[in-house]
Amino acid sequence: MSDQGYPVTVAVTRPDGSVEQVRVGTAVKSGDGFTLTMGDLAIGGTPDKAGAGSPRRTAAGGGGGGMVFPPYGRSRGAPIAGASQQDLEYYANGCRRTLNDPGKARFHDKEKVLLAAIEAEIARQKGSGGGESGEPPPPGDEDAPF
């Protein structure tokens, strides 16, 4: 039994709502536990087309949680994190249009998640760019009374 490997998979939800089990590694029995050997992993990027390494933009951290734009527009499939304000506003407006259309109610849950990620990235970028929110900055060390 110690030589037998067990596939390790992750459930991936596709845009059409179907769930696919994607293999990420192999677990092999080792003493009282298992040793996990992982394959090549990428988090927050866009899928490769035809298996070739693509020079597409990659997530640079920040808002968006590794989410990507939907499959339309000039930045389709690109990461939300690090996107231009113009792209963020374009896709946010698309989300709002969908959310205001009762005929597209079946998409509302996904659009709410997407819009929240886009708004978080907008807020993150504005936060690093300086206070357009109208609120005073949070207290810092220089504000301490001692």
Instruction: Return d(Cα 90, Cα 72) in angstroms, integer.
Output: 11
Determine the average pLDDT of the residues in 52-70: 52
What is the distance of C-alpha 93 from the center of its chain?
Answer: 19
Q: Which domain holds residue 123?
A: 57-130
Q: Is residue 74 scored above 70 in pLDDT? A: yes
**Residue 126 shares a structural domain with residue 73:** yes
Instruction: Return d(Cα 48, Cα 54) in angstroms, integer.
Output: 6
Share of the chain above pLDDT 90, in %: 16
Q: Is residue 2 scored above 50 in pLDDT? A: no
Q: What is the pLDDT of residue 59?
A: 35
Q: What is the pLDDT of residue 86?
A: 92
Q: How confident is the model at residue 130 (pLDDT cuts 50, 70, 90)?
A: very low
pLDDT tens readout for residues 76-103: 888 888 899 999 999 999 999 999 999 9
**Residue 125 shares a structural domain with residue 64:** yes
Does residue 68 contact residue 46 with C-beta atoms inside 8 Å? Answer: yes
Specify if 125 maps to a domain.
yes
The separation between the first and the last C-alpha atoms of the chain, rounded to the nearest angstrom, is 65
Specify if 67 maps to a domain.
yes
